[in-house]
Structure 1
Amino acid sequence: MKVGRAILAALVAVVLSSALLAAAASAQAVPLAAKPNIVFVLTDDLSWDLVDYMPNVRQLRREGVTFSNYIVTDSLCCPSRASILTGKYPHNTGIYRNTGADGGFLAFRDRGQEQQTFATALAAQGYRTSLMGKYMNQYNPKSVRDDLGAPYVPPGWTDWQGVGNGYPGYGYRMVRDARVVRRGHRARDYLTTVLRRDAVGFVRDAVGNGQPFMLELASFAPHTPATPAPRDRGRFADVTAPRTAAFDEQDLSDKPGWLSGHRRLTFAQQERIDAHFRKRVRSVQAVDRALGRIRRELRQLGVERNTYVVFSSDNGFHMGQHRLTPGKLTAYDPDVRVPLIVAGPGVPAGATVEEIAENVDLCPTFSELGGAAVPATVDGRSLVPFLRGGPAPADWRTAALVEHRGAVTAPDDPDFPARGSGNPPTYEALRTRDRLYVEYADGEREFYDRRVDPEELDNIVDELSPERLERLAASVQAMRTCVGVGCRQAARLGVESPLP
């Protein structure tokens, strides 16, 4: 009997041990399997006025949430992308330009900013992470190599398809399967189309392997020269740039010196603006098709309900507003307020969030969605409460910080301003839902009450009291020096009293 009991006890122990091991394995596997996928379509210089021409983006809006006051930290490619990757303001990344000691990929890497991004956070959580397309200015897959001589891959990316100088849409170099590949000028080489095909293949492979994935498809479109896909070249022949109240603004006498001397747009300039706008509309068609094709693949693979799809841009673009020929770099609405649209599990359909959001929020948002801890050094805040349909947290920011270091003077910079497009000096700006305050390094200021002046036509800074101007200056100072949690505090403390 004792032997029988011993055998029985041993068998029970084995069964219990096996059950515990299975439960442990299940406990580890379930969270990984349950982690949501993230598809992030990041465009280059896409402004809100292009969304009307993008049916798949409009469908995404109907099925998800639109952040109507989503602001970028700088209307310039590299500083904005640095903020997106790290969740930090330019004064904490040290990236203010596209090139030089304080800008570009080389400075971003040398300052150690690549070591803590949403890619590193998600990879540590078991995600397969892929970047396809534009990374940062100065990234050149031919010349940037690791210690072993292979194409350089930034930390956190398990699948890397970085592209160098993809602005023309053809004749670019890209990394594929750890090799640098040169693409030609045939229709099948058109960059956005190549990225679409590769993105679909990546999604299939990741789903087939049972891995949660994060895909960033980063187009160069509609950045100048805004090359369209072959099938889109002759489309939208009658489209013109929107003639808002700010287009060819009548009176610039109240504007700062860098702008006030601009003359009214000539008929020839307006025609060129319209032609450029048509090119931009045509160039985003391939991006829109890529978004739609990826979403169809998600549905066919049965993972759409566990995938967040995010559409946005690194900065906006002005086209005739305030007498400016096509360009960016300003603190005005067309340049700093860009689309942010999200659909996915639990996201309320057709919703609009009017609270101020900023591109520093994307890193903590992606990190939280993937189950990663958000470092205290991050300046932004997760947008997940809004994605779940909840109200704004009680301590949510009331202002976004925009900080620009100007003027842009490097002729080899792809964002070197054309004549008449505007090249403001260094400034900091605070943007709330209803106000815009700009403080230039040369001492000039702007203040717009967007409740009655949404086009930012009437600079009423001279109507503000000295006390109010002093509070505004203190608010800017608090924001321009903040770090981490301090930024979240300053974004409320500095603005809710002075600006309203």
Structure 2
Amino acid sequence: MDNGTVTRTRRPWLLVAAPLVLAAIGAGVWLIRRPPPNVLLVTIDTLRADHVGAYGYSAAATPVLDELAHRGVRFASVSSAAPLTGPSHATILTGHYPPRHGVRENVGFLLEPGQTTLATRLRRRGYHTGAFVGAYPVAAGFGFGQGFDHFSEGLHPNPGIGQGAERPANEVADAAVDWLRAAAAPFFAWVHFYDPHAPYAPPPPFRERFADRPYDGEIAFTDEQLGRVVGALREAGHAEDTLVLVLADHGEGLGEHEEAGHGILIYESTLRVPLIVSGPGVPRGLVVNDAVGTVDVVPTLLALLGLEAPADLPGRSLRPALSGRPLPAAPLYSEALFGRLNCRWSKLRGWREGDWKLVDGAAPELFHLASDPAEAIDRAAGEPERLQRMRASLGAAVRAMAPGGDRARPRAVSPEQLERLRSLGYTAGGGGGGDLDEPGLPDARRLVSVYERLEVLQSATGPAVEPAIREIAGLLSRDPGSPFAHFVMAAVAYRAGRLGLAEQAFLRTLALDPDRPVIRQYYGTLLRDMGRLEESERQLRLAVAQAEDTDFATRINLAETLIAAGKAEEAEKVLGRVLEREPSHAKAKGALGRALLARGRASEATPYLEAAAQGPDPGPLLELAGVYLRLGETARALEVSRRVLAQSPGHPWALSLTGHALVLEGRKDEGLGLLNRALAIGPRRAEVWKALGEAFAAAGEARSAERCRREGARLARS
């Protein structure tokens, strides 16, 4: 029966009343104390509710989620607090909204130690706590490890990053299953699956089965791995004494409202999520239609465990709905600040009262979700009184959460952190803070298509680079005030060897947002590549002053500039301090090797350079080959450069170094063949032209050497 609030099958009144009578007798006469139930909290990243079978999606392959819904309670209308992994999970785990817990974006924000998580509350009550996460935005280093006795990350390295960013659902499940089999009761386990997040690349056999629907394939794979975790509860004898709560952190745009992914807009495509509860004390087959939020998770779980929720939590316990009672009306807050912090667009805040939803940005929008679930009809003009009242309520709520004014306070982001997050699809980061309500900013809803296109263009390589640069210039004319747009131009131009254009774009980025050390670090590196060492040193010293103590990449780049400027002794000291903090840092070892080499200490330098060349990145290998050439060890140089050519036969730098080594070994014709191949490819970086010129000079080919030197100088000036 559907009465507008709950739906379930009627049962004879005696079957309902008898357990209540027996429970009352047991509590009043025998004083039986049942042990507290265990808790399994599962968060699935980027899962739209309308792509789950239990929510009406006929094409779904989600039997585990569907069975949990059949055996428990399914909430039909659930809103996330934010369409980003970090802020949303911070709300799920603390019960507070982002203005209160402070995590406003994935990049540059930390769940501070002063925030009390559900894990902390339960550990204080004697629970054993374990977390098993699938991606970097919820790593322990961002504060999400608070309250957990055991925190499993085990994240996979990504090529060129050197540190982990994510791991697949089967590996998350492996870790969770092992822990659950041995966990002593009572326990609280949090399992986070990241797989439905873009890029959509399900493993076999889901890749073949869902070839035309890879997003659904990722969901199906995740559902299968969720089944393993739930199965571990049965195997350990905990199926009947464990509360299971499964939800998503946010949804996915999938092209609706021009948003392919998530993070910028706050329409239902990215805010509506599934929420399923099952376990002891939870009825079977119930559907709750009231509007609820992820902010309600903490008070609900505390209530189901018989614990009192703190009075300052803005959410409410959903326990009344589990017995078929209507929930008291409660508004729901949401926000998306990605565009505000990275593109200098107007912030977006949401306020929902029942079926009415306000989206407040540069201009307000008002939707009636019951009659318009796709949010296609803006009713703001026709409902002026409702609009005014809801905006006033939203403003009052924000002032209550942030009494001194709502301001974002991002921390400095290191290049390493940024690269790990960018590998997951979070392409901006570490945006400027300040007053979120700055007037007169562009409307994110009108510019989301610009951002979506920039996301694609920033990865342009090879012959696609020049057309990408032209298209980025056109997009900048539509959105000239976006630091992110200028940064994309800088990055693509830099990668193309267009150093002059890259410099202009970096300067514009820093003019719009001067407090990002990661951007200043890239700019300082560019200046070094242009031979402007004094300016490079100045920018990198400023970046170090702005950065966190753990930002090793910026310090390493400063050391590289010091080496180039003939200050190798000072560079050695900078790198020594980095290696004291992080002894295994490969890039620091490589830079220290170059510093020692610059001081004439080749025998000390070589082990550091060799250690740096152990990873998958070809750059350190080619550097090592170049060092071997300078040391006269041509056979070793040849062996190392050929390793790169085996993986990348057309790599111009590897061709240059291999050809150079062959020339020095007396195999001039063979070497010239490789050098001419590199010349025909046409390297796009000034330093590769320089290396090629040196190789031609060694072969006695003065004309080709001079051509390479001129081309390298031209690229350095462009």
Fold match (TM-score > 0.5): yes
Report the counterpart of residue 457 of structure 1 in structure 2: 376
Conserved? CA contact 1:167–1:226, under 8 Å: no
Report the counterpart of residue 172 of structure 2 in structure 1: 195
* Alpha-carbon offset, residue 424 of structure 1: 6.6
Residue 386 of structure 2 aligns to which amino acid in structure 1? Answer: R
Report the counterpart of residue 219 of structure 1 in structure 2: 193
Q: Deviations over 1:255-308 (max 9, x none)?
A: xxxxxxxxxxxxxxxxxxxxxxx2222222232112212222323333212111
* Alpha-carbon offset, residue 87 of structure 1: 0.4
- Supply the distance in 1 between the matched residues of 2:96 and 2:158 (Cα, whole angstroms): 26
**Quick one: which of 62, 78, 81 aligns to 1:70?**
78
Residue 44 (str. 1) matches residue 45 (str. 2): yes
* Alpha-carbon offset, residue 129 of structure 1: 0.9
Residue 380 of structure 1 aligns to which amino acid in structure 2? Answer: G
Work out the number of aligned pairs and report it. 365
Aligned to 1:471, what secondary structure does the other structure show? helix
Which residues of 2 match residues 230-245 of structure 1 at below 5 A?
230-237=204-211, 239=212
Describe the shift of the 1:399–1:191 C-alpha distance in structure 2 as closer, same or farther (beyond 3 A).
Answer: same
* Alpha-carbon offset, residue 164 of structure 1: 4.5
- Supply the distance in 2 between the matched residues of 1:456 and 1:306 (Cα, whole angstroms): 41
Report the counterpart of residue 55 of structure 1 in structure 2: 63
- Supply the distance in 1 between the matched residues of 2:306 and 2:135 (Cα, whole angstroms): 24
Residue 386 (str. 1) matches residue 315 (str. 2): no
Report the counterpart of residue 35 of structure 2 in structure 1: 34
* Alpha-carbon offset, residue 343 of structure 1: 1.1
Q: Deviations over 1:191-223 (max 9, x none)?
A: 3111212212211111xx4x2111111011111
Describe the shift of the 1:45–1:172 C-alpha distance in structure 2 as closer, same or farther (beyond 3 A).
Answer: farther
Which residues of 2 match residues 133-172 of structure 1 at below 5 A?
133-134=133-134, 137=137, 139=139, 154-164=145-155
Report the counterpart of residue 99 of structure 1 in structure 2: 107
Describe the shift of the 1:167–1:89 C-alpha distance in structure 2 as closer, same or farther (beyond 3 A).
Answer: farther
Conserved? CA contact 1:56–1:289, under 8 Å: yes
Residue 313 (str. 1) matches residue 314 (str. 2): no
Conserved? CA contact 1:91–1:481, under 8 Å: no
Report the counterpart of residue 119 of structure 2 in structure 1: 119
**Quick one: which of 393, 396, 410 aligns to 1:475?**
393
Conserved? CA contact 2:135–2:194, under 8 Å: no
**Greater RCO (CA < 8 Å, at least 6 residues apart):** 1
* Alpha-carbon offset, residue 449 of structure 1: 2.0
- Structure 1 residue ranges (4+ consecutive) displaced by more than 6 angstroms after TM superposition: 165-168
Q: Deviations over 1:433-461 (max 9, x none)?
A: 42221111x3x010112232222111121
Which residues of 2 match residues 268-287 of structure 1 at below 5 A?
278-287=213-222
- Supply the distance in 2 between the matched residues of 1:159 and 1:45 (Cα, whole angstroms): 25
- Supply the distance in 1 between the matched residues of 2:135 and 2:89 (Cα, whole angstroms): 8
Q: Select the structure that is richer in helix.
A: 2
Q: Deviations over 1:298-351 (max 9, x none)?
A: 233332121111111111111122343343432211111100011111222121
- Supply the distance in 2 between the matched residues of 1:280 and 1:171 (Cα, whole angstroms): 27
Q: Deviations over 1:386-406 (max 9, x none)?
A: 33x24134xx23421112224
- Supply the distance in 2 between the matched residues of 1:385 and 1:140 (Cα, whole angstroms): 34
Listed as ranges, the gaps of 5+ residues in structure 1 are 1-26, 145-151, 175-182, 184-189, 240-277, 411-415, 417-422, 485-500
Conserved? CA contact 2:170–2:225, under 8 Å: yes
- Supply the distance in 1 between the matched residues of 2:289 and 2:305 (Cα, whole angstroms): 25
Describe the shift of the 1:404–1:167 C-alpha distance in structure 2 as closer, same or farther (beyond 3 A).
Answer: farther
Describe the shift of the 1:326–1:94 C-alpha distance in structure 2 as closer, same or farther (beyond 3 A).
Answer: closer
Residue 85 (str. 1) matches residue 19 (str. 2): no
Moved more, 297-306 or 38-47: 297-306
Conserved? CA contact 1:133–1:195, under 8 Å: yes
Q: Deviations over 1:229-277 (max 9, x none)?
A: 343221223x4xxxxxxxxxxxxxxxxxxxxxxxxxxxxxxxxxxxxxx
Listed as ranges, the gaps of 5+ residues in structure 2 are 1-29, 53-59, 403-718
- What is the TM-score of this pair, normalised by structure 2? 0.47
- What is the TM-score of this pair, normalised by structure 1? 0.66
- Supply the distance in 1 between the matched residues of 2:381 and 2:222 (Cα, whole angstroms): 44
Describe the shift of the 1:450–1:155 C-alpha distance in structure 2 as closer, same or farther (beyond 3 A).
Answer: closer
* Alpha-carbon offset, residue 137 of structure 1: 2.0
Report the counterpart of residue 203 of structure 2 in structure 1: 229
Report the counterpart of residue 498 of structure 1 in structure 2: none
Conserved? CA contact 1:35–1:212, under 8 Å: yes
Conserved? CA contact 2:366–2:378, under 8 Å: yes
Residue 395 of structure 2 aligns to which amino acid in structure 1? Answer: Q
- Supply the distance in 2 between the matched residues of 1:478 and 1:47 (Cα, whole angstroms): 30
**Quick one: which of 402, 416, 421 aligns to 2:334?**
402
Aligned to 2:339, what secondary structure does the other structure show? coil
**Quick one: which of 317, 326, 349 aligns to 1:428?**
349
- Supply the distance in 1 between the matched residues of 2:296 and 2:224 (Cα, whole angstroms): 27
* Alpha-carbon offset, residue 47 of structure 1: 0.9
- Supply the distance in 2 between the matched residues of 1:159 and 1:135 (Cα, whole angstroms): 16
- Supply the distance in 2 between the matched residues of 1:304 and 1:218 (Cα, whole angstroms): 20
Residue 346 of structure 1 aligns to which amino acid in structure 2? Answer: G
Report the counterpart of residue 375 of structure 1 in structure 2: 310
* Alpha-carbon offset, residue 134 of structure 1: 4.0
Residue 473 of structure 1 aligns to which amino acid in structure 2? Answer: R
Residue 145 of structure 2 aligns to which amino acid in structure 1? Answer: P
Residue 294 of structure 1 aligns to which amino acid in structure 2? Answer: V
Give the greater-gyration-radius structure (CA). Answer: 2
- Supply the distance in 2 between the matched residues of 1:132 and 1:109 (Cα, whole angstroms): 20
Describe the shift of the 1:285–1:138 C-alpha distance in structure 2 as closer, same or farther (beyond 3 A).
Answer: closer
Q: Deviations over 1:105-124 (max 9, x none)?
A: xx3226x22xx110001111
Residue 97 of structure 1 aligns to which amino acid in structure 2? Answer: E
* Alpha-carbon offset, residue 135 of structure 1: 6.9
Conserved? CA contact 2:252–2:260, under 8 Å: no
Residue 436 of structure 1 aligns to which amino acid in structure 2? Answer: K
Q: Deviations over 1:2-51 (max 9, x none)?
A: xxxxxxxxxxxxxxxxxxxxxxxxx99x85x6111111111111112321
* Alpha-carbon offset, residue 153 of structure 1: 8.1
Q: Deviations over 1:395-440 (max 9, x none)?
A: x234211122241665xxxxx9xxxxxx973122112342221111
